[in-house]
Amino acid sequence: MDNDAQRKKVVLTCVQPTGKLHLGNYLGAVKNWIAYQESCECYFGIVDMHAITIPYVPADLRKNVYSLAAQYMACGIDPSKCNMFVQSNVVGHADLAWILGCICPLGQLERMTQYKDKARKHANNLCSGLLYYPVLMAADILIYNADIVPVGEDQKQHIEITRDLAQKFNRTYSDTFVLPEPYIPKTGARIMSLQSPDSKMSKSDPNQNGTIYITDDADTLRKKIMSAVTDSDTAVRYDEANKPGISNLMNIMSSLGGMGISDIEDSFAGKNYGEFKKAVADVVVEALSPVRERYDALVADKDALNKVLSDGAAAAQRRADRIMSKVRRKVGFVDTRAK
């Protein structure tokens, strides 16, 4: 068996430390990452360098890094089976971003959908970091030569530019980078806002009653579920077009409780929305209460979190160094450092 067949696939995914994970993050992303731990070499990055492209409070950034690490672990990310690290703790991300930026056409960055969106939102504070963001993201991926990058649909364009830059580097300097493949889950329900069920659940929802966070306490979870927008009908029936609120609650119940949609319809035939919402709340509380309890214990032990992130960064640095030594040599940099 050749080395390529023997080696584990490398999985890399990164998230900004910008607050709490919500139910959509948990069901749509983190649960999929957990499965990769068993068969792949996994790197889970907390990308604090990306988080400074818009106004922020440094103390909050530091706090959010620890919080996100604790949330990952509370959800089932196991540091003994993966490498969890903070982006700024691994030397090379910014170095590779500069090298890739020197072969990246400016027009390609200006056409990025997310740049256009952020430029509109931050018109009064538009920094070059927002424009350069996709190049740093490409460096985040290529510095580990990742095979698989789990992303949301809105990040697909960033993977495309990463592949473009990898191909351009390989053509210019010889084969160096693996072309990463995006993993976008094809199955699983989209979790929508409880208050605006036509929109995806989001931490930026102006009505926070529409967003279920994995660290919400039981009372908060119940209040949010019971106040969820429904419709003037009375039947618990799945119909995303005409009954988006009820359909969203059914998706949540199915995803967390394991019941099929048709089973939920049968179980609540003839029952009112109040009874149904109470049952959904019971399922959500039962599923998320253990997560919150684990999170509370983990986030209180800063020394343990530092150890996890330090060990993860050391492993990430070893892999990054192997890639960057090749990159530096191929682009013509001279290394005069003492060996």
20, 31, 200, 326: the catalytic one is 200
**Gap between the Cα atoms of 168 and 147, Å rounded:** 17
Taking CA 213 as the corner, what is the angle to CA 208 and CA 216, rounded to the nearest 5 degrees? 95
Would 120 be classed as within a structural domain?
A: yes
Q: Is 116 a catalytic residue?
A: no
Same domain flag for 123 and 19: yes
Would 203 be classed as within a structural domain?
A: no
Would 200 be classed as within a structural domain?
A: no
Buried b (16+ CB within 10 A) or exposed e, 152-170: eeebebbbebbbbbbeebe
Same domain flag for 13 and 54: yes
Same domain flag for 327 and 179: yes
Same domain flag for 224 and 278: yes
Tally of domains within the chain: 2
**281 contacts: CB under 8 Å, gap ≥ 6:** 221, 222, 225, 226
DSSP codes, 181-221: EEE--SSSPPPBPSS-TTSB--TT-SSGGG--BTT--HHHH
Instruction: Specify whether the CB–CB gap between 153 and 28 falls below 8 A.
Output: no
Six-digit token pair at 228? 């969820």
**Gap between the Cα atoms of 255 and 123, Å rounded:** 39
Checking 289-292 for CB contacts under 8 A at 24+ apart, the result is 289/218, 291/26, 291/74, 291/75, 291/214, 291/215, 292/74, 292/214, 292/215, 292/216, 292/217
What pLDDT is recorded for position 113? 75
Q: Is 118 a catalytic residue?
A: yes
Same domain flag for 175 and 260: no
Would 19 be classed as within a structural domain?
A: yes
Domain at 107, CATH number: 3.40.50.620
What pLDDT is recorded for position 303? 97
Same domain flag for 275 and 319: no
- Give the residue among 45, 49, 139, 50 at the shortest CA–CA distance from 85: 45
Would 337 be classed as within a structural domain?
A: no
Residue type, 143: I
**Gap between the Cα atoms of 8 and 234, Å rounded:** 51
Same domain flag for 78 and 122: yes
Distances (CA, A) of 194 to 20, 147, 230, 233, 236: 17, 36, 9, 17, 16
Q: Which domain holds residue 275?
A: 208-296
CA 329 to chain centre: 33
20, 31, 118, 326: the catalytic one is 118
Q: Is 156 a catalytic residue?
A: no
Strand arrangement of the beta sheet that strand 41-46 belongs to: 83-86, 41-46, 10-15, 148-150, 181-183
What pLDDT is recorded for position 249? 97
Instruction: Specify whether the CB–CB gap between 328 and 101 falls below 8 A.
Output: no
- Give the residue among 252, 245, 243, 250 at the shortest CA–CA distance from 228: 245
Same domain flag for 270 and 325: no
**Gap between the Cα atoms of 181 and 163, Å rounded:** 9
Would 261 be classed as within a structural domain?
A: yes
**Gap between the Cα atoms of 270 and 274, Å rounded:** 12
Tell how strand 41-46 and strand 10-15 pair up. Answer: parallel
What pLDDT is recorded for position 2? 45
Please, which residues bridge with residue 183 across strands? Answer: 150
Same domain flag for 282 and 327: no
Domain at 287, CATH number: 1.10.240.10
Would 307 be classed as within a structural domain?
A: yes
Would 168 be classed as within a structural domain?
A: yes
Mean pLDDT, each 10-residue run in order, the chain (339 residues): 65 91 90 89 96 92 97 96 97 97 90 76 77 93 95 78 96 96 73 94 91 96 97 92 96 93 95 96 97 97 98 98 96 88
Same domain flag for 286 and 144: no
pTM for this one? 0.89
Same domain flag for 178 and 270: no
Taking CA 326 as the corner, what is the angle to CA 143 and CA 53, rounded to the nearest 5 degrees? 30
- Give the residue among 27, 10, 37 at the shortest CA–CA distance from 256: 27
Same domain flag for 153 and 70: yes
Instruction: Specify whether the CB–CB gap between 46 and 65 falls below 8 A.
Output: yes
**293 contacts: CB under 8 Å, gap ≥ 6:** none
